[in-house]
């Protein structure tokens, strides 16, 4: 029996909607990354983007365990000499909760152009409204 490798034109990509309310950030990100990569499909191929589109709603209601709200620090550099900035998870959740989930998922995807293409299939929204009703997304139940 020969191994069948997926080709780009053979892939059927679905749209799923995930409610992040009361979900733990890291566990949610691992499950989202699994669906973005396509590892849940029987014809997963590592060098082809076989994953599905994911819409995450209620990003501002995601939870973290322990003291991560105050102890987890995100660093970024402005590009100028001596301008390494930092922001805690608590402030980042207030300011841009969508970016928190996006960065958590990006940490679990491959760091190459295929991973960047997978990340483009992730849509994260602060509230419960999203503009993707035309794609008819299915509700994806991720266990807690």
Asked, for residue 78, whether it belongs to a domain, the answer is no
Alpha helices in the chain (DSSP H): 25-37, 68-71, 89-95, 97-106, 113-119
Residue 115: Cβ-neighbour burial (10 angstroms; 0-12, 13-18, 19+): middle
Evaluate if residue 126 carries a pLDDT over 70. yes
CATH of the domain at 39: 3.90.1180.10
35 touches 51 (CB < 8 A): yes
Domain hosting 38: range is 12-66+95-139
Compute the mean pLDDT over every residue in the chain, rounded to the nearest whole number: 94
Asked, for residue 34, whether it belongs to a domain, the answer is yes
Instruction: For residue 74, give the H/E element and its range.
Output: strand 73-77
Asked, for residue 44, whether it belongs to a domain, the answer is yes
User: In whole angstroms, what is the distance from residue 36 CA to residue 39 CA?
Assistant: 8
Q: Which of 10, 30, 43 is nearest to 144 (CA)?
A: 30
Asked, for residue 1, whether it belongs to a domain, the answer is no
Average pLDDT over residues 125-133: 95
Q: Which of 89, 107, 141 is nearest to 29 (CA)?
A: 107
Global pTM? 0.92
Number of domains in the chain: 1
- pLDDT tens string 65-74: 999 999 999 9
User: In whole angstroms, what is the distance from residue 98 CA to residue 78 CA?
Assistant: 20
């Amino acid at each position: 029996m020969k191994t069948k490798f997926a080709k780009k034109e053979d892939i059927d990509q679905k749209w799923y909607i995930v409610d992040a309310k009361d979900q733990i950030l890291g566990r949610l990100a691992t499950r989202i990354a699994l669906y973005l990569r396509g590892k849940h499909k029987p014809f997963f191929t590592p060098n082809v983007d076989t994953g599905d589109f994911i819409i995450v709603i209620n990003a501002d209601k995601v939870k973290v365990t322990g003291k991560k709200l105050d102890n987890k620090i995100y660093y970024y550099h402005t590009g100028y000499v001596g301008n390494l900035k930092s922001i805690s998870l608590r402030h980042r959740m207030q300011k841009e909760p969508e970016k928190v989930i996006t960065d958590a998922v990006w940490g679990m995807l491959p760091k190459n152009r295929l991973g960047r293409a997978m990340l483009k299939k992730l849509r994260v929204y602060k509230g419960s409204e999203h503009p993707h009703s035309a794609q008819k997304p299915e509700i994806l139940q991720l266990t807690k």
